[in-house]
Amino acid sequence: MKKDASMKMGGFTLFETLFAAGLSVLVMAMLFEAFIVCNRNWHRTALDLASTREGSQCLERMVYGVGTGLGLRAAYWVTNWGSTTNWQLQSSNYYGYSWYRFNPANQVVVFSNARGISVIGSNVVSSLVSNTPMGISVSLTLVQAEGGFRETNSLSTYIKMRTPKTF
């Protein structure tokens, strides 16, 4: 029996085409879900890094100073004029007096001296300061929020005074 030319046509059956299309949709859905999970984790990590960076810079400015002003590490003495949670630190060093204030209403830490006032930390939702005979313990809790994401980070440091005279 002789086969004619119409019997040699190649191609996919309807079942093979539907199976390939369904498999492609399944792979694309898994890739899209992986993209969504990675994007969500990236946003959370970026917010966490931003709050860590902000808190570290604030604590560094308190310890070592702002601009040409010396920080708490170089102070002759430090006095806390507020409470442990709503504090105002006054320090004295070779250049004069300087102040560090935590304002919970505005969620900022502010530095001021004879040269001016500057915000050294923002997004600070709570802070604790405690004086010891040898130094000062400072802790900050920062919140970063963007879109539907919110990350909280807590940092602390202990500032050992070179000439311990805390009051």
DSSP secondary structure of 28-73: HHHHHHHHHHHHHHHHHHHHHHHHHHHHHHHHHHHHHEETTEE-GG
Q: Is residue 121 part of a domain?
A: yes
Q: Is residue 62 part of a domain?
A: yes
| Residue among 8, 133, 12, 5 nearest 78 (CA) | 133
What pLDDT score does 94 carry? 75
Q: Is residue 56 part of a domain?
A: yes
In the chain (167 residues long), the average pLDDT of successive 10-residue segments reads 61 92 96 95 92 93 83 83 84 83 92 89 92 87 90 92 58
Domain that holds residue 108: 35-160
Q: Is residue 132 part of a domain?
A: yes
Rounded CA-CA distance 104/36 in Å is 36
pTM for the model = 0.77
Q: Is residue 26 part of a domain?
A: no
Rounded CA-CA distance 14/101 in Å is 74
Q: Is residue 129 part of a domain?
A: yes
Number of domains in the chain: 1
